[in-house]
Amino acid sequence: MQVIKYSFQQHGDTRGQLVSLEEFNDIPFRIKRVYYVYDTLPNVRRGFHAHKSLEQIMICIHGKCKVLLDNGLEKKIVYLEKPYEGLYISNNIWREMYDFSEDAVLLVLASDLYHEEDYIRDYDEFLKFIASKN
Ligand code: T46
């Protein structure tokens, strides 16, 4: 499984850093939704689902966390700890986010609005869904 991690351009000067993200220029899809996760308690694991169509970019804009990616055949662990790095997650990928630092803020850019019917929240169902696509 190929892990796609973007390193966004940082506009740094003597005042500090700024990162700007434009749809189709820096982000490979139209950004229809933005959400963020913070105040995550120790030992919490989130996610445990895949999306049928949604594409996302995850950016840990403060603190750090880990993301487990699973395409049904292979698993990869990705460290997110830089505010200028974005992890692209396509559809049909099971994801779990964990080991959040106390100060972690995980920002997510999504290609669509929130639709619960796009979620696959059962791992066996995910494997069957993947198998039906191949
Ligand atoms: C994903 C990972 C990275 C909304 O009402 N609107 C939203 O846009 C989102 C994302 C969630 N919600 C509600 C649904 C639940 O009642 O917020 C609650 C928590 O959502 P969820 O349990 O899905 O959170 P995570 O952290 O497990 O998953 C989220 C996203 O849902 C998911 O798309 O890829 O972050």
The pLDDT score that the predictor gives to residue 77 is 98
Q: Whose CA is nearest to atom 8 of ligand 1?
A: 114
pLDDT tens digits, 9-53: 999 999 999 999 999 999 999 999 999 999 999 899 999 999 999
Question: Average pLDDT of 102-112?
Answer: 98
Question: Average pLDDT of 98-105?
Answer: 98
49 CA distance to ligand 1 centroid (A)? 10
The pLDDT score that the predictor gives to residue 96 is 98
40 lines ligand 1 (CB under 6 A): no
Domain 4-11+18-133, CATH? 2.60.120.10
Instruction: Please say if 51 is a catalytic residue.
Output: no
105 lines ligand 1 (CB under 6 A): no
116 CA distance to ligand 1 centroid (A)? 9
The pLDDT score that the predictor gives to residue 134 is 74
Domain ranges of the chain: 4-11+18-133
Mean pLDDT, the chain, integer: 97
pLDDT higher than threshold 80 for residue 7: yes
CA distance 93 to 12: 34
36 lines ligand 1 (CB under 6 A): no
Please provide the distance, in angstroms rounded to a whole number, between the alpha carbons at the two ends of the chain: 15
**Catalytic hit among 11, 49, 51, 62:** 49
